Homo-oligomer: A and B are copies of this chain.
């Protein structure tokens, strides 16, 4: 941890506004630093007392024997501002500002106060964490500079564990800690950064990711105002194989509204957040449970090789529910080898089930060795990628201790992921005590196992592809002005980039329209062309199936009249071939203010907004990324050809998407958004073709 070291592992900490009462905001950090074994210097600052919680107290920063590396600003309101200015002047490296009442309550005056502090800090080379910040807690270094209630009844443990939890929110930086502690899992870092006026949760995460003791990082985010630190974090994490799970709230409109009243959070488009996190190998947890539930699995060091599950239970019903749960999340039940089956048959009673899931039945009650006997057989089966042992009921008569020993030995032997589901606390305790991860039901066990395996796959894919993907696309300044290109210009721009567009001519007179008909060959489409009119159909400016040159000429005049009547600029009339295709697709692109260019691809046609069979793709991407996106569409089964049809030309569609992405990367082109619908998709070898295009440009 070289960067932000003074925030995570300072040599000295001053507490400005220190209190002798360990339950006051200014008292808690003093108490925590002592309790959690901070090895550096502790300097309480309080002019009214000679001593604070057993430490010598100082009247002011100036009285300290040295400039502290970190200063905790535990004074309230505007006093915090002057204190921060004093810290900057005194040579403090990091000021941690706990006071609230800044940007989170007042987006104007409050933010201005924050800026004042940050400017003072910048001038002096000091960093600020906060304000409105519950504090940073590094249990590895003992630097627990926090006033969290959660740490009050927490003991200092010998091993602080390997999990890091970061959040702007104070509550959310510690609630997961509570969850994990109940399961006996230590959290080494628990940081709440508050308003992120200077050091953001993303920057801090980059620093924490460099702590070699951190083996799993959990993030709670309400807003992603800047992509850069998350990109860097992803890169650090992939390099050192550190899994990151993010709970990004504000998924729904109601949630975003609440986030806005909470912290004035910028609303991110949720599907873009999904795509961005996945693109960077970060697992997105749907909720608090999803954030913490699989933690133990990540800490085991397993390298899963596949998703095929083997389930073993003494209850047939649990076997059924496990198979349901596994196949619902996309984990197939492993098909065991014939030799495995024969071996199992020699061990299990005749009424047990030797196919996977394996139902030991209540026979386990009379023969406790069944478990230990079948596990080595299963361990050898090449189809078994992961295991679930379900013990819904056991008790007097069952040798649960032996089961748990056998399971632990088995996990050790195979090195493959193993989870246990056990509802009864007495049973769960036995398995937990021997290091096996236990969930109350098979659904929770399968969900966690699937997350872990799926996330490791995602990390692996991301690692493999990232070099080929290249660097992220530029963000454009918000343009002062935007211009819609007319259809002819839109098509011409696309064609100039090698994107296949429908054969067409822009006609500026009736005679040109007649000539165009002859050149293209009927029937044709005739469309009025105006950079002022986006929705042509509604005005009668699109006519399909025009089957004579005269009709084309007549339409030229009609459409010119319509456009002029609307008071719009008349750019001419487009005469185009009637393009046919197997499926009408759509491709869109826009610039997200945070994440940059976003490409949308999906089922096209008139109702694209309503039926929403679309996928988001974040460039830079490789072909496989685009193919994966297309594969997730509901209409994907049609691409391979059904009922004797030929496959469709996915390669051509992929290529078009790539060309669109390249156009969006080109800052000079200044394209703000592209809407291509329909893009006619044809059979393999026959390509695809843009029929209708609307492009917006800056300037």
Contacts and interface: CB of A to CB of B under 8 A. Distances in A.
Interface of A: 23, 100-101, 104-105, 148-150, 152-153, 167, 169-172, 174-175, 178-179, 182, 220, 222, 249-255, 257-259, 261-263, 286-289, 314-328, 332-333, 350-351, 353, 355, 357, 359, 361-362, 365, 392-398, 423-426, 440-444, 538, 606-607, 610-611, 634-635, 637-638, 642-644
14 contacts: A23-B396, A100-B361, A152-B395, A153-B396, A171-B314, A220-B317, A222-B320, A257-B323, A258-B320, A262-B319, A286-B443, A287-B443, A289-B441, A538-B644
Nearest to A221: B317
A396 B149 contact: yes
A393 B249 contact: no
A289 B333 contact: no
Given A149-B395, A261-B353, A317 B250 contact: no
Contact of A148 (B353, B357, B393, B444): B393
Q: Which of A317, A395, A607 has the most CB of B within 10 A?
A: A317
A175 B393 contact: yes
Given A171-B393, A262-B320, 16 more contacts: A23-B397, A105-B350, A171-B318, A178-B393, A179-B423, A179-B440, A222-B320, A249-B317, A249-B321, A255-B324, A259-B316, A262-B353, A288-B443, A289-B444, A607-B635, A607-B642
Nearest to A606: B643
B320 A250 contact: yes
B254 A607 contact: no
A642 B252 contact: no
Nearest to A426: B153
B638 A396 contact: no
Contacts of A327: 252-255
A594 to B, nearest CB: 18
A362 B289 CA distance: 23
Contacts of A169: 315-317
Contacts of A259: 316, 320
B351 A105 contact: yes
A549 to B, nearest CB: 22
A424 B100 CA distance: 25
B353 A319 contact: no
B316 A263 contact: yes
Chain B CB within 10 Å, residue with most, of A152, A288, A319, A606: A288
Contacts of A426: 153
